[in-house]
Structure 1
Amino acid sequence: MMYQVLDKDIIENEIVPNLPKPKRGFFPKAPLAEIVNCILYKLKTGVQWAYLPVKSLFAENVLTYQSVFYHFRKWCVKNIWQDCWIKLLSKNKSKLDLSQCRFRRESYISITGRRRGRLSRGGL
């Protein structure tokens, strides 16, 4: 049984085209859609990398969790996830319904803005 976070067609049509193709060096043994599905499973469930059920997430060529983390880290460093998210949002902008969202105008006070050694101790 293979876990599916998103439909395979959605991953292949919407996410994989935004991923860079390897030019040299390490070529993945598994399809990029399965690697992305594995990463999305990890992000959705919050499971630790070492406990990722890779045998259930890959169809034929099972990668180790280290290989999946390698791809995740590589795409994070190059801001691939952020670029992909922005492209997906801009493509589907008309489908978003933000009518029920509330946005605050006031800014949050930064805790780091206080001076050192000036803690309130309740009058002590």
Structure 2
Amino acid sequence: LAIINLKRENVYIANVVKCRPPQNRDPLPEEVSVCWPWLLEQIKIIQPKLIVTLGRHSMERFLPNQKISAVHGKAMRREIDGIGKQVFYTLYHPAAALYNGSMREILIKDFKRIPKVLKAIEKI
């Protein structure tokens, strides 16, 4: 967050699942579905200007049928039932940079675009 001059107190972090799957495995679709109402309620309460999805699992819930390799670093406006229109910005999960060093530069580049996306949203 320091890279883009955002303070932690101005950022709300939520997960698509509310408890960690055993052995840190990927969440099952059923687990994501069970937790979906809670995530929707969090979004309604917070009313974020921008939702930044970190990784494939959160991206898939909001931007189904998309490939993260095609949408990372791009802002998209989408209608979400129960919430209305929302702007999404997809990033690779930061853990990907730990396993694949070449992802680090992509992640940083995409991350540094967040302030521009926020400014564009404020003009709307």
The TM-score normalised by the length of structure 1 is 0.26
Bigger Rg, which one: 1
Of structures 1 and 2, the one with the larger relative CO (CA 8 A, separation 6+) is: 1
The TM-score normalised by the length of structure 2 is 0.26
Q: Which has the higher strand share?
A: 2
